[in-house]
Structure 1
C-alpha cells in the first residue's frame, strides 16, 4: 500500500484537495485491471493539524484526521489555497506553523511532498525549498520571490521536481502533478492510462504560453501613463523612442529613466510586449492570416514576427492559435 496524506486547511481549494485523490483512485483502478488486486495501490487520508472539519474556499466542509507525528506517509499533497488579498493570505500562511513542522518531519522520514499553486508558499515556509528549484502560480511571482529569496523559482515549467519535492503552477495543474506522482510511484504505463482516462494533456509542460507579457504594475507616474496610452494607440506604426519623447515633450533619457522606474522596462520593450499581447488576442478570437496579424500589430516582416513570437511565447503563432483559439471554425 502506498500511503498518501492530503493536507487540508481552511481556505483551500476543494477541487485541488478532492481532485488529487480522484486521480489516485483512477490510478488504482488501472493498477487492479493491469496487475490484479494484489498490486500495491494508493491509500489516502485527508489530514489537518487539528483533525477537525475544515471549510474550503467555496464553503464545502471537509472532514479530516488529526496529524499524528508517529505516522509516516510515502506521499504528502499540499493543495492550493484561495488568495483573498495579501493580508488575508498572510494570515492563512501564519496559521500553518504546525503543518510546516509536520511536513519537514515527513520529508526527512522519506516522504515525497507535492505542493500545488499557492500551496507552494506553505512548502517554501518549511525551508525545504531553499536552494532548490520550485514553481508556483505565475501571478504571485513577485510575492513569492520577496518572501522566499533562497528558493530557485522557475516559472517556465508547469512542474518542478527536486529531491522528492514536486511543485506545480496555477491550481488546475494539480492534474498534471498527480500524473507525475503516479508515474514516480507506479510507473509511466499506469500514469499514461490515468491521464488518458481523465483527458489530461500531458504535453502541457510549459507555463510560458499562459503568462501575460504585460505585468499589472501599478504606478503613479503620469508621464509614463501618458506614454503607455500613446503607445497603445500607435503600436501599429513604425516607432522610434525619439518620436514618443517628442510627443510627450521630454528628452529620450528622461522618458527611458521614468519608464524603467515605473515599469522596470524600456518603452520599446513595453511596445514589443504590447504588440505581442495584441497578436495573441487576435489569434485567440479570429481567423486572420498570421501575416495580416503581424502587420496589424506593427510588424512588416512576418518571419521576424513569428520568430519573436516563438521566442517570447514558447510556440509558433499557428501552434498558439491551435491550442487557444476560442470557438475554432469546424
Structure 2
C-alpha cells in the first residue's frame, strides 16, 4: 500500500485537495470492488498550529507534518492567495519538514502554484519544474536556479514532481496512478474523469499579463509605447528611440522589472493580440497577421507555434467564440 500525504498548507486551494482525494479514493474503490487490497492510504497533513484549531478536515484525521513518516509522496496543493510572497512567509515553518522528508526518501509533488513552496525549499534548484502559465514570470524571477518548463503539463525530476495550472493537477495524479498502479488503472481513471492522457502542453492556456506594479518610469514608458504601437513598429528600436536613456540601460532595467527583454515583450504583445482576434473575430488569417504587427506570414506562424504550442488555425478551432 502506498502512503500518500496531502499537505493542507496555509491558503491552500480546496480544488487541488479535492481532486487528489477523488482520484485516489476512486482507485481504492476499484480495488475493493475487485477484492484487491487498497493501493493507497491517504493522509492529510497540516501544521501543528492548524491541528490545534481542528483535528480533522474533509472527513480525515489530520496528522502533523513533522510526524509524517513512510510516505511515498507528499503533495502540495495550489494556493488561493495572489500575494505569493505573503503566502510563502506564512508557510515558511513547514519547509524544514518537507526537506527532511525528502532527504529520508519521500517524493514531493506540487499542483499549480504549489510549486512556489517547492521552489522556496531550494530542492528544485537545478531541476526542471512547471507551474501555472500565468504565474511563470513570477516563479522564474523568484527562483532563477530552477529550470522552468512553463509549457509542460507535468514534470518529474528525480523524486520531485510538479504540474501546471488548474486541471493539469489531474495529469499529475494520472501520472502517479500510472507509476504506482500501472497503465491499465491509469486508463480507467482517465476515462472516469475525462482526462486527455496525451496532453503534455499547457502553453495555449496562457494569457500575457505583464507586470505593471512597479515604479520604474522608463520601463513604464517603454511598456506603454510597445502596447500602443506594436502593430505599426518594424523594430523595437523604433519604439524606444525617444526614451531618454541608452538602449543598453533600458533593456537591462526592462528585463529586471518584467522578466523579459523589450523584444520579447513586443513579440508576446503581438501574439496576445493575434490570439484575441482568432478568438473573437472571423477575420482572414492574413488580416490577423498584419493587424498583429507581422509582415511575414511564415515568420508569424513560426513564432505563434513556438509561443502558444499550436498553429494559429488549431488555436482558432479550439478557442473561437462562436
The answer to whether TM tops 0.5 is yes
Aligned length: 315
5 Å matches for 1:236-315?
A: 236-237=231-232, 239-240=234-235, 243-244=238-239, 248=242, 254=245, 256-257=247-248, 259-264=250-255, 267-315=262-310
Return the match for 2:80 from 76, 82, 95. 82
2:170 to 175, 188, 191: 175
Q: CA RMSD in A?
A: 3.3
Of 264-273 and 167-176, more deviation after overlay is shown by 264-273
Runs of 5+ in structure 2 lacking a partner? none
Q: 1:44 aligns with which of 36, 42, 45?
A: 42
Q: What secondary structure, in the 3-state scheme, does the structure 2 residue paired with 1:304 have?
A: helix
Q: Residues 8 and 54 of structure 1 are in contact (CA less than 8 Å); yes or no, is this contact kept in structure 2?
A: no
Q: Are 1:10 and 2:10 matched, yes or no?
A: yes
Name the SS of the counterpart of 1:95 in structure 2.
helix
Shift of 1:86: 4.5
User: CA contact under 8 A between 2:130 and 2:153: conserved in structure 1?
Assistant: yes
Residue pair 1:14, 1:60 contacting (<8 A) in 2 also = no
- Residue 18 of structure 2 corresponds to residue 23 of structure 1: no
3-state secondary structure, aligned to 1:129:
coil
Out of 86, 91, 94, the position equivalent to 2:92 is 94
Alignment of structure 1 residues 79-158 onto 2, 5 Å: 79-97=77-95, 100-101=96-97, 103-141=98-136, 143-145=138-140, 147-158=142-153
Contact kept, 8 Å, 1:224 with 1:258, in 2: the verdict is: no
Counterpart secondary structure, 2:167: helix
Contact 1:115-1:167 within 8 A present in 2 as well: yes
Whether the 8 Å CA contact 2:129–2:147 is kept in 1: the answer is yes
Pick one of 185, 195, 199 that aligns with 2:194. 199
1:165 correspondence with 2:160: yes
TM-score by length of 2: 0.82
Q: Distance in 2 between matches of 1:15 and 1:195?
A: 18
Q: Which structure's CA Rg is the greater one?
A: 1
d(CA) in 2 for partners of 1:150 and 1:310? 27
SS at match of 2:71: coil
Asked if 1 retains the 8 angstrom alpha-carbon contact of 2:8 and 2:44, the reply is: yes
Q: Which runs of 5+ in 1 are unaligned?
A: none
* CA shift in 2, pair 1:219/1:261, >3 Å: farther
Matched residue of 1:272: which SS?
A: helix
Give me the whole-angstrom Cα distance separating, in 2, the residues matched to 1:87 and 1:110.
Answer: 28
Distance 1:229 1:68 in 2: 49
